[in-house]
Each structure stands twice: as C-alpha cells, then as structure tokens.
Amino acid sequence: MTETIKTGVLGATGAVGQRFIEALANHPWFEITALAASERSAGKKYRDAANWRLESQIPEEVADVEVVPVDVGAVDADLVFSALPADLAKKVELDFVKAGCVVASNAGAFRKEVDVPLMIPEVNPEHLGLIDVQRDNRGWDGCIVTNPNCTTIMFTLTLKPLMQFGLENVNIASMQAISGAGFDGIPGMAILENVVPYIGGEEEKVESEPLKLLGEFDGSQIIPADINISASCHRVPVMDGHLEALWVGMADDPTPDKVRQAFLDFDPGLSDLPTEPEHPIIVRDEPDRPQPRLDRNAGNGMSVSVGRIREGIRYMVMGHNTIRGAAGASVLNAELMHKKGYL
C-alpha cells in the first residue's frame, strides 16, 4: 500500500466535512485531491469557503485548495467521502459510483439498500462481501459503502462482544449532542437550559440499523439479527459526544463482571488500519463515567467508553458523534476496503 489514493470530500465545508478533512490530513493511504461543496463555496479557496469550527487549525495542505462543485466532472478522485444531506446524496452518490468511484458515505440515502454494506469494521467486516453482490446486481465498477447513524454506531459496537451471551433485546435512551444536527441545526434559544425529547427519524434508525449490522451475510444477502430494540432519543445541550443508557436482555443472563470482561477482551483484529484505536471499547470504572467532556476524545475520538455496568444488564456508553459516529467511521470503512482489495 505504497501509492496513495486520490480522494475527494463531498460536502467539505460542513460539520462532518470538516471532520473528514481533519481525519484525512497526512493520511498514509489517502491523498486529498478534491474538496467539493455548494455553489456558493465553489471557486473559493477552502480557507475562505469554510467557517472552520474545530479545535485544530485548517490543515495547510488544503487551506489554499480551490473548492469545486459537487459534480462528477469537477472532482478528481477515485475515492470520495460523502458528508452530503440524504436527499442530495441519493442522486449525487449514484453519479459518482456510476463513474467508477468508490463512495464511502456518511449519508443515510443507501443504508437500507439490500446490496449496500452498512459497516462498522469491528462488528461486521465480512459484510464487505456485499460489494461483489452490488457490482454484479448493478453492473457497477465503483461501489457504495455506508456507515450507520451516529447513535447506532456507539451502542452497536458494544453489543458485538455481548452476542456470545445470546442477545435478545435492547432498550436505549440517548442524550445526543447538538453537533449531531450540524452547525446551524439547533438554535441557541431552543437548546439552552433545555432538553428536546424528539429527533426526527432518529429512533427508527436506531431500532432498525443494528439488525442489519449484527445480521449474518450468507454470501448473497444479509439475514437480519433476531433482536428487539426499543429507543427513545433526546437532544441535550452538549457540544460533542452522545451519551446512551442501555438495558440489554440476554439468554445466558451474564453477570456484570462477565459483561465487563467481554468488553475488556474485545479485539476485532484491526490494528493495522490507521484510524482504528488501540482499544475500540474502553471500560470506565469510575461511578460517574463516561462523560462527554471527559471521554469523547478517547482514541482520537474513535474509541467508545462504557461504564456503570449493573445487574440487569444496564450500562452507559458514550462516543464522539462527529468522529466515531460520522467521518472517522467512513474513513475506517475505506481503510478496510483498501485492506480487502476493493480500492
């Protein structure tokens, strides 16, 4: 893997687009060759088009890159990362894949398609086999691979090591950061001193996506996991980091100590992927952890933290929603595709 792959970012000026650029700066395999955004940004240098809002500075390698329109003819790349809204992604991502590009999408447009992999590399790496099915079905040279909703990623990653105990049902209550709604998604007067007990479409995604992620790939399709999931999702006045409370029912009725050990023993074997953290699941034994402000940047934002593992089984899980839950997840998917020879 000595040659770098020409890489573009679609929706490069937005909240997730900025995280993509942060993750791809100085990446050993992927070289940013195109930044695409809306017509109002096209033609400007990236430093002038993007209202950069991350803790880091705009990477120098992209600061003077000219932003191009979100159009196949304008983007010089073999791999594109999509941070587009789902309605726009439905058409644009198809245009790119039909032109032979590999699309690693954070958008929700194709997550439910039966021949499109919905991926968390530590959970279901074998599902990449759907790419071959997808290409055969559609006659494509390129392909689309998606990552799940940000809330789904956090807790589904922790469910994988619990499958050994006969996972049967999951109840989840989420406390979701405002950055999950984008830079301008929640007006300040609506969220200050407030909790919004509804996020449109979120609960449906949280209840359905894990069934595909934890399902079995039989060589031609995904057989969904037989698990009952019930969710209640809420927006809270936290900048970054989704905190989630889980109640998990398992046939073997493991003790909290066995569940804790399962988290500690979890090793997906992906240490050769640049974005994979040393410990994808970190156990926090302090009684008041995890917390977004203290734990969201663990593993460069790619680790999830669990704590308060109690009889029941009940526990808390927390992760960085725009890194582990969005841009970093797509980059990790692309790294796995490269490792498996799809790039």
Q: Two tokens at 112?
A: 């439910």
User: For 254, phi and psi rounded to 5 degrees?
Assistant: -70, 155
Helix crossing, 150-159 with 202-213: angle to 10°? 40
| Burial environment of residue 181 by CB neighbours within 10 A (0 to 12, 13 to 18, 19 or more) | middle
Nearest to 263 by CA among 212, 303, 211: 303
Question: ∠ CA(35), CA(32), CA(334), 5° rounding?
Answer: 105
CA distance 168 to 251: 7
Q: At which residue do the structure tokens 């029912």 appear?
A: 249
Amino acid at 185: G
Residues with active-site annotation: 150, 242
CA distance 342 to 323: 23
Q: Which of helix, strand or coil describes residue 244?
A: strand
Burial annotation 263-281 (CB, 10 A radius, 16+ → b, else e): beebebebeebebbbebbb
Nearest to 179 by CA among 206, 199, 193: 199
Q: At which residue do the structure tokens 């007006």 appear?
A: 187
User: For 278, phi and psi rounded to 5 degrees?
Assistant: -60, -40
